[in-house]
Structure 1
Amino acid sequence: MSFSRKRSALYARIPGGADGRRMLWIALINKAGTGLWMGAAALYFTLVTGLSVAEVGVLLGVSGAVGIAGAPLAGHLADRFPVTRIIIGAQLQQAVALSALLTTDNFALLLLYSAVNSLADRGANVLTKLYAARIAGPQRTTYQAVQRTVSNAGWAIGGLAGALALAVGTTHAYQALLIGNVVSFLAAAVLTLRCAEPPSPSRLVADSTATAPVAPPSNPWRDRPYLLFTVTEAALFLDDAVLQVGIPLWIVHATDAPHGLAPLLMVLNCVLVVCCQVPLSRFGSTPERARALLVPLAACFVVGCGALTASALGGTWLAVAALTVAAIALTFAEILHAIASWELSIALAPDDAQGAYLGVHGLSSSAQRSGGPLLVTAVIAAGPLAWPVLGAGVIVTVAAQSRLVRKRLTRQSPGADRAVAPRAM
């Protein structure tokens, strides 16, 4: 079989049909634009707008706190309205908010625009996850792995372009990265208009109330085990803050590594995800297997923290080598957590309130976006020995989540794909 035929056959096997494939193109465009900007965002606020490290931490932390509301709001709306239209609204909101960052260097305004962007970003993440679950059905784990692979390919493309812009180092170069991200959101919104709306179990239940009485939908806010699971998830999302915020700032303020290493490590992160996300996804194809990934996840995080400590011992080559090890280890922690988190958050969510449950689960990454930068900047301020302490905290969190999930899964029916009616532990 020729290469083109193999590629076509592989393309045809992607879950979700034509709309699933179209959403993958949207993810590629979207993340390429985001890769342009996110690898340089902390440095943009520091070097172009003149904010201090503390101000950057506050800006990212507070905007992340505002974004916390985006996840449950988007999940609530997605149980009642077409998810594709809500995705388009989030994409346009991000384009407008990011454009506004170019108009000022005032801290209060930068904070406001970043908060508006964060609100839409957190909501869009939940909506994309929900769309994947609805369009791929039982093949959701495979589709999510492919989507993350495509997304990280986009990140890599954007990150390489971002590295070139950072090598130039001018204000116009940084602004060009931001504009590229804005254009990507506009293009993604146009493509999303062509996507069909997938079936929604929660909306079907709501529509049936006109002809037959039904039980009230499950309420995630009364599901104590799921809420506790979400709390532990917030800590396990810290690899994002360390990779996106911690490593760039650590490079600049605590090591002898060149500043241009920061976007290159982001590219390395994306390349590893592209190469490993789909192959490793088979290890999390069931809730039980997903839970088993928590132990290697914690090990990878601890190795990454130890390498960050070593990077501050002095010398350019030691710093570069240690930072590379840290980026690799934290990337594998990210990959394993993405697999486990995706499968468990869906498996533990009842069909009649899938959007609402995933919206609540989205609070974990939103909370990390808020508290993560503050925690990471505090670790940077505390010095090299603070990184192993952070790693120890992740070990404790993994142990707690593993026990929590095990108890929850024992309350499922044999072979069930999701949790039974919620009960307090």
Structure 2
Amino acid sequence: MLAVALVDRVGSGLWASVSVLYFTYVSGLSVAQVGTLVAAAGAIGIAGAPIGGRLADRFPLTRVLPTVQLLRALASFALLTTDDYALLLAFTAVGALGDRAASVLTRLYATRIAGPDRVRYQAVQRTVANAGWALGGLAAAAALALNTSTTYQWLLAGDALSFLASALIILRCAEPPSPSRTIATSKNPGRTTETANPWRDRTYLAYVATETALCLHDAVFKVGLPLWIAHADSAPHGLAPLLLVLNNVMVVALQVPLARFGATTTAARNLLVPLSAVFALGGAAMTLSATGGPLTATLLLTAAAAAFTLAEILHATVSWELSVALAPTTAQGAYLGVHGLAQSAQRSVGPLAVTAAIATGPLGWTAFGATIGLTCLIQRRIVRDRLARTPLSVPAVTVSEQ
């Protein structure tokens, strides 16, 4: 499955950096049309996570995931066939649905096949995925030097082909045991019985709500830092892409080594305390970056980027463990599908949150970091109370990948 993560993300790296340019220069859309298309497709794509999770509780993962990848490939190829706005919106929305579903399904595969070692497996997988994304982005940057419509079309085709390739790889992977499907089969062969419903689990829904706030580190790098630097009087504008590089390098270098600090449920819950402090420090560094000259601003913005990247790494570790530990083993797919809504929702509210921090002024960033830090402590309380009432765990799984 690591090969799947690499191939998939190489393709995503090819497309992510040029999608807006493709819709602008190849499809001929206006700025408003592009913004509406991306926002609408993202909103529709939110449904992909819970749908993918439910399907995974009923059917083999090594059949559901290739189907989703094929859907993504067809949606990408379909974009090449038309400039009609309605069709472009429909195809982009289908691709967004597949993207969110694939994210949950890939994570669920790692959870089932790695068993108690799931946090380290996820860390390795995320490191490989980030490396793939960087390779795709570099290839896209090199191709953009040609600046032709054909170049954009080939990059989109490369994204589609990466989904097809990953689907073929998945078909050769071993199917990990699924507690939900195993239990259902033993009771009534050929039929899956629903044993838990995450939509009725108020504690888990509260946990997912706090996760939305903790995912805001993503919006900091995609929107917050670039906008803050662009409107700052002292910070060099060329710093923004360098901080994105720093983010990617730190994730690749530190995700696996730091994963050991959240390898158990208790460790992951305790990690929320230092995570709270890191978020607060990142916000404070952003505030202080407005108080000095170019050198001071550069150093403090670099420190802020490093802090938010560390928060990203620690949060990923905590999230991998707690999202599974809080879910009944008989409904892992459904629960992780609902958990996937946190990242999807963040894509909508994240830009609003960071622009609000910028509009408030330097102290807005302090409030931003402190608010997320407080949310970490609230999540720790939610998790503690849940585990105290119902000790949930995931049984060990030992299945080799073919």
Length-normalised TM-score, structure 1: 0.80
Contact 1:57 1:374 in 2 (8 A): no
Contact 1:257 1:317 in 2 (8 A): no
Going from structure 1 to structure 2, the CA distance change for 1:379 and 1:165 (only over 3 Å counts) comes to: farther
| 1:410 aligned partner, one-letter code | A
Number of the residue aligned with 1:272: 250
Contact 1:29 1:184 in 2 (8 A): yes
Contact 1:160 1:264 in 2 (8 A): no
Matched, 1:24 2:7: no
In the alignment, the residues of structure 2 paired with residue 81 and residue 128 of structure 1 have an alpha-carbon distance, to the nearest angstrom, of 14
Matched, 1:140 2:99: no
1:40: Cα distance to partner? 5.2
SS of the residue corresponding to residue 175 of structure 2 reads: coil
Number of the residue aligned with 1:402: 380
Matched, 1:170 2:142: no
Matched, 1:302 2:272: no
Of 184, 193, 196, which residue of structure 2 is paired with 1:218? 196
Matched, 1:241 2:219: yes
Contact 2:22 2:152 in 1 (8 A): yes
In the alignment, the residues of structure 2 paired with residue 238 and residue 253 of structure 1 have an alpha-carbon distance, to the nearest angstrom, of 21
Going from structure 1 to structure 2, the CA distance change for 1:77 and 1:34 (only over 3 Å counts) comes to: same
Of 357, 367, 370, which residue of structure 1 is paired with 2:345? 367
In the alignment, the residues of structure 2 paired with residue 298 and residue 378 of structure 1 have an alpha-carbon distance, to the nearest angstrom, of 21
Structure 2 spans left out of the alignment, 5+ residues: 396-402
Number of the residue aligned with 2:393: 417
| 2:393 aligned partner, one-letter code | D
In the alignment, the residues of structure 2 paired with residue 37 and residue 382 of structure 1 have an alpha-carbon distance, to the nearest angstrom, of 34
| 2:351 aligned partner, one-letter code | P
Number of the residue aligned with 1:332: 310
Going from structure 1 to structure 2, the CA distance change for 1:252 and 1:189 (only over 3 Å counts) comes to: farther
Contact 2:261 2:268 in 1 (8 A): yes
Number of the residue aligned with 2:210: 232
In the alignment, the residues of structure 2 paired with residue 380 and residue 171 of structure 1 have an alpha-carbon distance, to the nearest angstrom, of 36
Matched, 1:201 2:203: no
1:106: Cα distance to partner? 6.9
Number of the residue aligned with 1:80: 58
1:110: Cα distance to partner? 5.0
Deviation string 1:126-146 (CA, Å, 9 cap, x unpaired) is 101111111112221221111
1:320: Cα distance to partner? 4.9
In the alignment, the residues of structure 2 paired with residue 321 and residue 187 of structure 1 have an alpha-carbon distance, to the nearest angstrom, of 42
Judge which range, 293-302 or 76-85, deviates more: 293-302
| 1:407 aligned partner, one-letter code | D
Contact 2:117 2:263 in 1 (8 A): no
Going from structure 1 to structure 2, the CA distance change for 1:291 and 1:112 (only over 3 Å counts) comes to: same
- The two structures, once aligned, show a CA RMSD in angstroms of 3.4
Contact 2:115 2:394 in 1 (8 A): no
How many residue pairs get aligned? The number is: 392
In the alignment, the residues of structure 1 paired with residue 361 and residue 92 of structure 2 have an alpha-carbon distance, to the nearest angstrom, of 28
Number of the residue aligned with 2:398: none
In the alignment, the residues of structure 1 paired with residue 227 and residue 83 of structure 2 have an alpha-carbon distance, to the nearest angstrom, of 20
Number of the residue aligned with 1:285: 263
1:405: Cα distance to partner? 0.8
SS of the residue corresponding to residue 194 of structure 1 reads: coil
Q: Give identity over the alignment, percent.
A: 59
SS of the residue corresponding to residue 174 of structure 2 reads: coil
Contact 2:58 2:192 in 1 (8 A): no
| 1:170 aligned partner, one-letter code | N
In the alignment, the residues of structure 2 paired with residue 285 and residue 295 of structure 1 have an alpha-carbon distance, to the nearest angstrom, of 16
Contact 1:309 1:387 in 2 (8 A): yes
1:324: Cα distance to partner? 3.2
| 2:274 aligned partner, one-letter code | P
Number of the residue aligned with 1:69: 47
Judge which range, 104-113 or 289-298, deviates more: 104-113
| 2:67 aligned partner, one-letter code | G
Matched, 1:191 2:169: yes
1:195: Cα distance to partner? 1.5
Matched, 1:152 2:117: no
Deviation string 1:74-106 (CA, Å, 9 cap, x unpaired) is 111111111122211222222333345556777
| 2:207 aligned partner, one-letter code | F
In the alignment, the residues of structure 1 paired with residue 215 and residue 188 of structure 2 have an alpha-carbon distance, to the nearest angstrom, of 41
Contact 1:61 1:374 in 2 (8 A): no
In the alignment, the residues of structure 1 paired with residue 301 and residue 22 of structure 2 have an alpha-carbon distance, to the nearest angstrom, of 21
Contact 2:283 2:370 in 1 (8 A): no
Deviation string 1:367-408 (CA, Å, 9 cap, x unpaired) is 112322343345455555433332232123112111111111
Going from structure 1 to structure 2, the CA distance change for 1:149 and 1:59 (only over 3 Å counts) comes to: same
Deviation string 1:204-247 (CA, Å, 9 cap, x unpaired) is 11111237x99861221221111111111111111122223433
Number of the residue aligned with 2:74: 96
| 2:50 aligned partner, one-letter code | P
Contact 1:65 1:371 in 2 (8 A): no
In the alignment, the residues of structure 1 paired with residue 225 and residue 37 of structure 2 have an alpha-carbon distance, to the nearest angstrom, of 17
Going from structure 1 to structure 2, the CA distance change for 1:407 and 1:56 (only over 3 Å counts) comes to: farther
Going from structure 1 to structure 2, the CA distance change for 1:250 and 1:45 (only over 3 Å counts) comes to: farther
1:70: Cα distance to partner? 0.8
Going from structure 1 to structure 2, the CA distance change for 1:28 and 1:388 (only over 3 Å counts) comes to: same
In the alignment, the residues of structure 1 paired with residue 81 and residue 250 of structure 2 have an alpha-carbon distance, to the nearest angstrom, of 36
SS of the residue corresponding to residue 410 of structure 1 reads: helix
| 2:320 aligned partner, one-letter code | W
Contact 2:280 2:366 in 1 (8 A): yes
